[in-house]
Chain A
Amino acid sequence: MKNIITLVKFDLKKYWSISRIITFMIFAIIINFFVLVPNYFNFPVTEIKINMLTIMQGLLSFFVPVSVLFFTGAIIFSDKRSFYLRTILTRPISRDEYLFSKYLFSLINLLIATLFFAIFPTILSFIIYNDNGESGFFQYFFTYLFYIIEGLLFISISITLSFVVNSYLNIFMLAIWIFLENTLINGVLANFVSYSKSLAIITDFFFPSGFSDAAKLIGNVGVLFWESLLWGLTALAFFFTLSIYLNLKTKIDTISE
């Protein structure tokens, strides 16, 4: 564990240069500004009050994949290319420690990014705009947890890809994956379960006494969440295992590859 922490500390110090911190902060301020200002002026003007949970979900669903693309896109490949991997693995650390340090580093970056780009705007919106009170703390917490698990999945895909393809190709492939994943969850699963007209029609047909509302409720609250979670966790386990395998098989440097 000591070696993992040493490697993560080094990576964080290497990555978070002063110029990057400043750029990150400016970007975070802009994002917060864009979320807060319309809220302050009560835009969009609508009868239905804006639900802060929806705002947070929107921000998370955008910034989780973007953060992973940004921070983890080329993580292993760049270590190989700069001969960092070769240097590190001549020291008394195992390959597993190296790999786990990359996971931890990526996760910390993801937490920082979502904190600045999704949690802060939501909290500030709460303070300025006042929530409509429909959502409790646990809903926010589990929504965040859900997106972090999704982020972990993206991280494991990104790390796995970066063992075998170069940085640009890796980012491109990860972007395609995220697009497919979002299409699958939002398009297929959501259409079929959550906002399911087809499910409603079927239930209406079989249970004309109004069972479709109950089915919709189950879909909205439970089925989509658990199906997505199960799907995500399975994919996470798959890619995590694959990254461990590739980590053991990959050559330390790229010279003879």
Chain B
Amino acid sequence: MIEIKNISKTFAKKSKYPVKALSDINLNINDNEITGLIGANGAGKTTLIRIILGFETPDSGYVKINNLSNNDIEIKKIVGYQSDLPYVSKYVSIRDYLNLNAELLGLSNYNNQIDEMLDYFDILTASNKKLSELSKGMRQKVEIINAFLGNPKIVILDEPTAALDPIVVINLRNFILTKKQSGISVLFSSHHLSEVENICDRVIFIDRGVIVKDLSRKDFENTSLEDEFTKIIGDGKK
């Protein structure tokens, strides 16, 4: 479980115009649940994800994952992350990159797992291509595979469908649902409300650094998330 307690973060504190990215965020993300993080651009989704991953230090509050600090090395073994800004290199192939990550995770006999996922996302034949030669969508697929490498307990996906075509989006949805059955929890941020609606057990709306609504599937089953989004985020923007 991810426990987020009293997290606040302000950027450019010493400047004339400080940016309050997050304000007193309290949140528990449960095990074996798919949680969607929704918000307009600049709402604070990525900052929250970066704080959860330990990239950013909060001004106040803390994040605990399975009762351990989010910066604990042990935690990194059970958390997978798909970055919205993939690693690009003209010297590294897809396979080299995934092999490196598998080795750092301490996995043995990882080739089958990598091949299966590459095949699932239809990039097995391109596995020896350099990362710089890939399209944006293919890089995103590589990052998604990387996030699920070694079957982590928690997977954090930052805008996973942003560069993917509709078929791959459907495949990804099925992939996440299958992984959930094997006990993986997923937290993902997205602008695509239909995607979130289709697979999430819970949806968190974030606006200007504040959690404005926390809905379970039961809450949004009979309504559309688009209406909710317009009501919550749209109203605030008026």
Contacts and interface: CB of A to CB of B under 8 A. Distances in A.
Contact of B11 (A3, A90, A256): A256
Interface in A167-185: none
Contact of A10 (B83, B86, B100): B100
B101 A92 contact: no
Interface in A1-36: 3, 6-7, 10, 13-15, 17
B91 A91 contact: no
Contact of B53 (A10, A90, A93): A90
Contact of B85 (A7, A13, A83): A83
Interface in B44-98: 53, 55-56, 73-74, 76-77, 79, 81, 83, 85-89, 91-92, 96
Given A15-B91, A82-B88, A91 B56 contact: no
Interface in A233-256: 251-253, 255-256
Contacts of B11: 256
Given A14-B89, A14-B91, A256-B56, A86 B77 contact: no
Contacts, number: 61
Nearest to A3: B104
Interface string B92-117: 10001000110111100000000000
A10 B89 CA distance: 12
A215 interface: no
Contacts of A255: 85
A13 B99 CA distance: 12
A170 B101 CA distance: 29
A84 B132 CA distance: 13
A9 to B, nearest CB: 9
A13 B11 CA distance: 38
A8 to B, nearest CB: 11
Interface string A171-207: 0000000000000000000000000000000000000
Contact of A92 (B83, B89, B105): B105
A92 B86 contact: no
A104 interface: no
Which of B73, B89, B100, B103 gathers most chain A CB within 10 Å? B100
Contacts of A84: 87, 89
Query: Interface size class for chain A?
Result: 20 to 34
Interface residues of B, number: 26
Contacts of A92: 73-74, 76-77, 104-106
B89 A82 contact: yes
A87 B101 contact: yes
A14 B83 CA distance: 21
Nearest to B97: A87
A24 to B, nearest CB: 15
B96 A13 contact: yes
Contacts of A91: 76, 101, 104-105
A83 B55 contact: no
A51 interface: no
A3 B73 CA distance: 12
A148 interface: no
A52 to B, nearest CB: 37
Contact of A253 (B55, B100, B104): B55
A94 interface: yes
A83 B101 contact: no
B55 A86 contact: yes
B81 A14 contact: no
A88 interface: yes
Contact of A93 (B79, B96, B104): B104
A90 B76 contact: yes
A92 B92 CA distance: 21
A6 B100 CA distance: 7
Contacts of A93: 73, 76, 104
B96 A83 contact: no
23 contacts: A6-B104, A7-B100, A7-B104, A13-B96, A14-B89, A14-B92, A82-B87, A83-B83, A83-B85, A83-B87, A83-B88, A86-B87, A87-B83, A87-B101, A88-B104, A90-B53, A91-B76, A92-B73, A92-B77, A93-B104, A251-B56, A255-B85, A256-B11
Q: 4 smallest A-B Cβ distances: which pairs?
A: A91-B104, A92-B76, A14-B91, A252-B55
Given A86-B83, A86-B85, 7 more contacts: A13-B96, A14-B96, A82-B88, A87-B83, A91-B101, A251-B55, A252-B55
Interface of B: 11, 53, 55-56, 73-74, 76-77, 79, 81, 83, 85-89, 91-92, 96, 100-101, 103-106, 146
